[in-house]
A and B are shown apart, each in its own frame.
Chain A
Amino acid sequence: MKSKSNLEKVLRAGHFAVTAECGPPKGSDVSVLERKGRSLLGCVDAVNVTDNQTAIVRMSSVAACSILKALGHEPVLQMVTRDRNRIALQSDLFGAYALGIRNVLCLTGDHQCFGNQKEAVGVFDLDSIQLVRTVKDMRDENKIIGGDHVDEAPRMFIGAAVNPFADPAEWRVVRLKKKVEAGADFVQTQCIFNLERFESYMKQAVDLGLTEKVSILAGITPFKSVGMARYMADNVAGMDIPDELIKRMSETPKERQADEGIKIAVETIQIVREMNGVAGIHLMAIEWEEKVPEILETAGLSERPAV
């Protein structure tokens, strides 16, 4: 074992892993976070806590991870390089590990122009791959950037994100390879809607031998409505939502659209589960965390392994 992560144990044991995303509140209301956290207890292997996603100010990911851990969750700390330089990132890694956080997901982050602080400076001192390497060097070499030795360095299980649907298409697997070489132990993908493109991506990853080195968690997001599907297709960076899915949602009566969205998500889970090299799923039920148990139960994934 490289780290002291429970998620690593689950994946190493060969179980099909399930993680779910949990967005911290826009404020300091612990009860909101605890409500979301409780709805996910017992049905996921880890809870992945977003870091000011889409550049909207929310409770810090480190604090939210700590609160969720106290509830009994295994948190995955998302860290974006948009808002903090290498001093702050490394300091927060020390702090997060001291609080018992054992997994980190290294991201660059959505550009600040998308959020509610459009006039902010974008830091981008490191990129996501450099952050992956930084966490790895801490864990495996007891070193921080610049080479200084750290006695009690964080021993994190290291994650990264990949988007099989962005352009240039031929570059996407190369970027996965770079992330693996930099030290990623697991990656979670952008929300999968275009199954054909995802299958071709997975085939390339398998052919390059990458799936033997990294656990790929397939990203799943259920639509709440056709409005959400359209919004994501038009406004969310890096999304690839085929027209036929939008059509399927729009042809469903409004009162049944949420059910249809869940049905699509479950179908997607069942298909990706059969794909060679997919080690688990990452559910991103955006502001809909309470539906995660239902989705997992329908997909036959509600029993989580004890490791």
Chain B
Amino acid sequence: MIVAERKEINEIRKMIDRYSSILVVGCDSCVAECAAGGQRETVMLAAALRLSYRKDGRDPKITEACLDRQCVVEFIHGIASQVPEHDAVLSLGCGAGVQALARVYTDKPIIPALDTLFIGETEIRGVWQENCLACGRCKLGHFGAVCPVTRCSKKLMNGPCGGSKAGRCEVNPDILCGWDMIIRRLEALGELDRLSEYVPPVNWSSSHSGGPRRVVREDQKS
């Protein structure tokens, strides 16, 4: 899923202070799972904004709404009647959600309330871990299902760098060394031999280096 964090109120306000009516729109998918932009967080943000404006003696119209998915056009139409009644939309979707709203509501400013961080997993409640950079050529089969592109701070493909210490990364001891994880896991699986071969330079053309990516499937078109 996509993991995001809400921006500070001050930063959000700098972007929306110019409007007198704002539709605050949550997204009940990924960003709900990471407690950044779901129904609950949408209500909380709207309340926090009202309070913040009241302190400044202002009373803009702030309305809440929440979509099941901000990144799918059918769901986006769910706020079609509310959007025209507001000067701007404050989106608690990820970057994809914000841009999808802007593509549909072409004449309306769409403002992000979140910083989109990464593709990751909920390890335990309250801890989210990045584990996919969407490089476009999944290599997990070679590396014991631990991604060196994502989990190694230097994207090393041929083993750990000299900064790996006690399973931790040189960048920050809070970061686990991806290569330490790869080696331990393959060792446990009895498949360390996978690492003996030289891994040639990565073909990054399938990643974002090749430009914004797009998938078109005729069989899925209606």
Closest Cβ of chain B to A276, distance in Å, is 23
Q: Assess A130 versus B201: contact at CB under 8 Å? Given A111-B170, A168-B160, A237-B163.
A: yes
In the assembled complex, the CB of A20 is this many whole angstroms from the nearest CB of chain B, namely: 20
Interface 9-residue window, one of B56-64, B67-75, B84-92, B149-157:
B149-157
Q: Flag B41-80 by CB within 8 Å of A: 1 or 0 each.
A: 0000000000000000000000000000000000000000
Residue from A124, A129, A237, A238 in contact with B198 in the complex, judged by beta carbons closer than 8 Å: A129
What does the 1/0 interface line of B159-184 toward A look like (CB < 8 Å)? 11111111100111000010010011
Q: Is the CB of A167 within 8 A of B154?
A: no
Pairwise interchain contact B156-A127, C-beta atoms closer than 8 A:
yes
B-side contacts of A174, CB under 8 Å: 159, 195-196
B206 at the interface (CB under 8 A from A): no
Q: Determine the distance from Cα of A178 to Cα of B183 in the docked complex, in whole angstroms.
A: 15
Interface residues in A165-208 (C-beta closer than 8 Å to B): 166-168, 171, 174-175, 178, 181-182, 190
Say yes or no: A129 contacts B159, CB within 8 Å. Answer: yes
Chain B proximity of A52: nearest CB distance (Å): 15
Contacts of B165 on A, CB cut-off 8 Å?
A: 166-167, 237-238
Chain A, 122-136, contact with B by CB distance < 8 Å: what is the 0/1 string?
A: 101111111001100
A238 touches B162 (CB 8 A): yes
Compute how far the CA of A114 lies from the CA of B153 in the bound complex, rounded to whole angstroms: 13
Contact B166 A167 (CB under 8 A): yes
Contact residues in B for A163 (Cβ distance below 8 Å): 161-162
Q: Decide: A175 and B159 in contact? CB cutoff 8 A.
A: yes
Please, which residue of chain B has its CB at the minimum distance from the CB of A134? B201
Q: A122-B154, A162-B162, A238-B165 given as contacts; is B200 within 8 A of A171 (CB)?
A: no
Chain A residues 129-176 with CB under 8 Å of chain B are: 129-130, 133-134, 145, 161-163, 166-168, 171, 174-175
Is the Cβ of B154 less than 8 Å from the Cβ of A124? yes
**Complex CA–CA separation, A122 to B161 (angstroms):** 15
In the complex, how many angstroms separate the beta carbon of B164 from the nearest chain A beta carbon?
A: 5
Asked if B198 contacts A182 (CB within 8 A), the reply is: yes
Across the interface, do B159 and A238 meet the contact criterion of CB distance under 8 Å? no
Q: Is the CB of A167 within 8 A of B155?
A: no
Q: How far apart are B114's CB and chain A's nearest CB, in angstroms?
A: 21
Provide the B186-222 mask, 1 if CB < 8 A to any CB of A, else 0: 0000000001101111101000000000000000000
B158 beta carbon closer than 8 Å to chain A: yes
**Also in contact, A175 and B160, with CB within 8 A (given A110-B170, A125-B204, A145-B201):** yes
Q: Which residue of B lies closest to A163 (CB)?
A: B162
In the complex, which residues of chain A have a beta carbon less than 8 angstroms from the beta carbon of B162? 161-163, 166, 190, 237-238
Q: Quick check: is A108 within 8 A (CB to CB) of the other chain?
A: yes
Q: Please measure, in the bound complex, the distance between the C-alpha atom of A110 and the C-alpha atom of B171, giving whole angstroms.
A: 9
- Taking a contact as CB atoms under 8 Å apart, the answer to whether A237 and B159 are in contact is no
On whether the beta carbons of B201 and A113 are closer than 8 Å, the reply is no
How many Å from the CB of B51 to the closest CB on chain A?
34
How far apart sit A130 and B154, CA to CA, in the bound complex (Å)?
13
Min CB–CB distance A226 → chain B (angstroms) = 22
Contact B154 A82 (CB under 8 A): yes
B140 CB to nearest A CB, Å? 18
Contact, CB under 8 Å: A166 / B160:
yes
Q: How far is the CA of A134 from the CA of B200 in the complex (A)?
A: 9
- Residues of chain A whose beta carbon lies under 8 Å from any beta carbon of chain B: 82, 86, 108, 110-111, 113-114, 122, 124-130, 133-134, 145, 161-163, 166-168, 171, 174-175, 178, 181-182, 190, 237-238
Residue contacts A-B, CB under 8 angstroms, 9 given: A86-B201, A122-B153, A129-B157, A129-B158, A130-B158, A166-B163, A171-B183, A175-B158, A237-B162
Closest 4 CB pairs of A and B: A163-B162, A237-B170, A237-B163, A238-B162
